[in-house]
Each structure stands twice: as structure tokens, then as C-alpha cells.
Amino acid sequence: MKTNPEKDTELHDKINRETGRIKWSELSRHFAGGNVIYVSEELDLIEVALRIAHDDKARVGKWMAAGTVAKVSDLQAQTWTAADATLWASVVSPFVLVQPDKQQLH
């Protein structure tokens, strides 16, 4: 694995191609295993996935401390289940990163 995420355009492009929308209900098995990670709408999902793939503990740690990256809570899971939510998702094995749609400002 390359050590500089900023220069890893190949992995960035691969993650981008493999990111898509998925119904929350399809992630229940992964959630039960504790492998679903919430990414705040204020962050770039692809960037977070890239940093996790590169094991960038410093950057990911800052996001976790700020609460912008965290394991999906039971309350989030219940809310998304009730809403039959569709989320953006990216896989960085063994994790599935999910992000709600970004709010549109008009």
C-alpha cells in the first residue's frame, strides 16, 4: 500500500467507481457485525474511505474525536430503518462506510 493518500490516485479512482447508493435494509448484517461506519455529510466519503484504506490513524482519529466519523449508532440504524433510507456507501473491508445525502442549500 502506498503511504501517501494524496498521491494515490489509482486507489481514489477505484473507490470512487465502487461507491454507490444502497438501501439501509441491505446493510443490516454488516451493522449487526459492527462494521458499518457513519461519515458525516460535511466530509467527502471518498476521502474518508481513502484515509481508512491507508490506515491514516491521525486524520481518522481527528474525525472520530469530532464525531464526523463513527460506528453507526442504534438510533441512527432505527431512524434509517423507519425511513427506509437510501445511503451512499463505500466498502473498505471489513468496513462499509455510509453517508446520508448531503443537504441541498438553496
What is the per-residue pLDDT for 65? Answer: 98
Q: Residues 53, 3: contact at Cβ < 8 Å?
A: no
Beta strands in 1-106 (DSSP E): 20-23, 36-39, 69-71, 86-92, 95-99
Global pTM value: 0.88
Report the distance separating Cα 50 and Cα 53, nearest Å. 5
Instruction: Give the model confidence (pLDDT) of 7-60 as tens digits.
Output: 788 998 999 999 999 999 999 999 999 999 999 999 999 999 999 999 999 999
Find out whether the peptide bond into 5 is cis, omega within 30 degrees of 0. Answer: no
